[in-house]
Structure 1
Amino acid sequence: MREFLVFQSLWAMQDHHGQCELALEAQLEKIAAAGFDGITDHFWVANHAARLHAAAKAQGLQIEGQVFPRTVDDLAAAIDVASRYGCHHLTLQADVRPRTLAQAIQLIEGWQRLAEQVDFPILLETHRYRLTSDLLFTLDILAEMPDLKLLADLSHYVVGRELPEPAAAVDDEQIQTILRHSWGFHGRVANSEQVQVPLSFAQHRPWLGRFLGWWRYGIEDWLARPDTLTSLSFTCELGPPPYAITGADGRDITDRWAEALMLKELMRQVWSDCQGRPRDGL
């Protein structure tokens, strides 16, 4: 039985000062009570991983661990920590910016050899100011490494390349290539100039619809794969300022927690539609 798991980012729980008034355990209690299936957070420091694991287990939540390796040894150390406590998967924000494909591929191949030794997936995230910063460079990597598993955060490519709306066919084709290699998603909606726009504003509906269509494509492709893992995750990752748009007082102009709940329900509806069955109450 294949599952769709919706996670909440702990980074997204921060306020405009980069803080959260709730202790870690209280955050996870709130997230579980809201109906999320798991959480996303840093997962390479042993003390923090132990506390996060204990709190998640108490609430029945799964963990997407985030790591920011620069070398093969960096990932080896993070895997040692993650293996002690277990996780749904690890997401790599590769904190390097190679200038050539050969440099990138050499590093990724080292990470892939490590990934083969553990029983949880290790996914390379698409993200600005990381190895995967540029869409075309990432597509070139995929052409050389067709088995590479990605974690798709599409917002970075929309704002990073100033993708137009309405869509250009070639842009959608390139995003679909990313999605065909993706085994999880980080969710926010961007437009050509801003990495995170309020979901509920009328002027952003075309972009919301476009992202939902992309995510639907990714889910349908995942479901059609013969070697699909048993569960697919989607993280609601509506980050604090400066990701969130702010007013003159420096505070968010929308309620990000309310929008995370909205995004969770939208994505569960997309999943149900892909499964060909209605959701109760929707």
Structure 2
Amino acid sequence: MKKINNGSSAPPRLDIQQSWWAMNGIGNGVREWITEEKVEKIAEAGFTGINGFLPPQEKQEEWHNLLEKYQLSFSICAYPWNREELSTLLKQAQDFGVQHVNSQVMDSFVIGEEAVQLLKELTEEAERFGTTHFVETHRGRITQDLLRTVDYVKAIPNLSLTIDFSHYVVSGEMVGDIFRAEPFFNELLQRCGCIHGRVSNGEQVQVDIGPNGEHPMLNRFKGWWKQGMENWLMDAKVGDIFPFVCELGPPGYAITKNSYSKGNMEEISDRWEQSLLLKRIAEEQWAECVQGLAE
């Protein structure tokens, strides 16, 4: 499984990235922060990277300057339907200098051998460019179904995943009988190259986990995140980097106090504070993994 490597002699490290999508609407309570304010706040909070989208050509110099100024890594999301689409994006990503490409592969109606062939082609294309490429476990995409995705992983030995089990928990309404999914989750966690951090309760894809992580589903997710990190660390080498993206979306991912029809989009959570909590949790899980391997 291909890992991100910066060519240094540093020990394998965690790269905590903040989702740029998660910064939609975030500000000081009076107005939304502008681009540089958001980047500055991300860096000040101790994040080491941003996960976003490839900037349009006219914005690329600005983004290069901001990433250099605040010393942040940068990864991007993609939504390829075929090899040609990914190839075009990979060339643009390579020119920009992104850390990795995270693909939500389209779409959920592509199944069986057709899905395996497409995933093989995308993996081959990323290898041709020398770009680290992860396929995300996501609803409404080729990886929508947990059991089918396990089959894809078995069929493609070099397929690397971004793990986001919030999608499987909510789509399968997994709560009381979640133990039945564990063997399949374990199969996917063997290919974990990146994690997108979000907690689902089996009914909503994104829940408030409380100011100190009191939500009962958090321990489940912490266990999966830690297992993915441990699996990744088992054969990690110097210079290798493991990205954990805090990915709390705006409404309608975020639950609001009133309905859309009433025109009130006030969220039940402080999304920025929840992102900081996810960051702290990921750092704690990573530290436990590293300590465990050292003992």
Same fold at TM > 0.5: yes
Tell me which of 150, 154, 157 is aligned to 2:165.
Answer: 154
Q: Give CA-to-partner distance per residue, 1:65-102, whole Å, 9 cap, x none.
A: 11111111111111111111212211001122344311
In structure 2, runs of 5+ residues without a counterpart are 1-10, 259-263
Tell me which of 273, 277, 280 is aligned to 1:265.
Answer: 280
Matched, 1:242 2:252: yes
Contact 2:134–2:160 (8 Å) recurs in 1: yes
Structure 2 distance, partners of 1:6, 1:185, is 10
Tell me which of 72, 75, 84 is aligned to 1:73.
Answer: 84
Matched, 1:55 2:70: no
Structure 1 distance, partners of 2:96, 2:241, is 19
Q: Give CA-to-partner distance per residue, 1:98-125, whole Å, 9 cap, x none.
A: 4431111221122122111233311111
Corresponding residue number in structure 1 for 2:142: 131
Displacement after TM superposition at 1:48 (Å): 4.3
- TM-score, length basis structure 2: 0.86
The equivalences for 1:217-232 within 5 A come to 217-225=227-235, 230-232=240-242
- Quick one: structure 1 residues 215 and 150, their matched pair in 2 at CA, closer, same or farther if it must change by over 3 Å? same
- Quick one: structure 1 residues 138 and 273, their matched pair in 2 at CA, closer, same or farther if it must change by over 3 Å? same
Corresponding residue SS for 2:206: coil
Corresponding residue SS for 1:206: coil
Output the amino acid matched with 1:145. I
Corresponding residue number in structure 2 for 1:144: 155
Contact 2:137–2:165 (8 Å) recurs in 1: yes
Contact 1:46–1:81 (8 Å) recurs in 2: no
Displacement after TM superposition at 1:191 (Å): 1.0
Structure 2 distance, partners of 1:203, 1:90, is 30
Contact 2:212–2:277 (8 Å) recurs in 1: no
- Quick one: structure 1 residues 76 and 203, their matched pair in 2 at CA, closer, same or farther if it must change by over 3 Å? closer
Matched, 1:213 2:223: yes
Corresponding residue number in structure 2 for 1:111: 122
Matched, 1:254 2:254: no
- Quick one: structure 1 residues 160 and 56, their matched pair in 2 at CA, closer, same or farther if it must change by over 3 Å? same
Contact 2:166–2:205 (8 Å) recurs in 1: yes
Moved more, 85-94 or 7-16: 7-16
Corresponding residue SS for 2:217: helix
Contact 2:102–2:134 (8 Å) recurs in 1: yes
Displacement after TM superposition at 1:226 (Å): 5.7
Contact 1:49–1:81 (8 Å) recurs in 2: no
Structure 1 distance, partners of 2:22, 2:283, is 19
Matched, 1:94 2:109: no
Q: Give CA-to-partner distance per residue, 1:248-277, whole Å, 9 cap, x none.
A: 232111101001111101110111111118
- Quick one: structure 1 residues 227 and 133, their matched pair in 2 at CA, closer, same or farther if it must change by over 3 Å? farther
Structure 1 distance, partners of 2:267, 2:186, is 32
Structure 2 distance, partners of 1:29, 1:54, is 12
Matched, 1:193 2:208: no
Output the amino acid matched with 1:105. V
Output the amino acid matched with 2:53. H
Corresponding residue SS for 1:117: helix
Structure 1 distance, partners of 2:89, 2:196, is 21
Corresponding residue number in structure 2 for 1:23: 34
- TM-score, length basis structure 1: 0.90
* Aligned pairs, number: 273
| RMSD between superposed Cα atoms in Å | 2.1
Corresponding residue SS for 2:102: strand
Output the amino acid matched with 1:165. G
Displacement after TM superposition at 1:144 (Å): 1.0
Output the amino acid matched with 2:47. F
In structure 1, runs of 5+ residues without a counterpart are 278-282
Displacement after TM superposition at 1:45 (Å): 4.2
Tell me which of 275, 279, 282 is aligned to 2:290.
Answer: 275
Output the amino acid matched with 2:283. R
Contact 2:256–2:265 (8 Å) recurs in 1: yes
Corresponding residue number in structure 2 for 1:280: none
Contact 1:44–1:81 (8 Å) recurs in 2: no
Corresponding residue number in structure 1 for 2:54: 43
Contact 2:108–2:139 (8 Å) recurs in 1: no
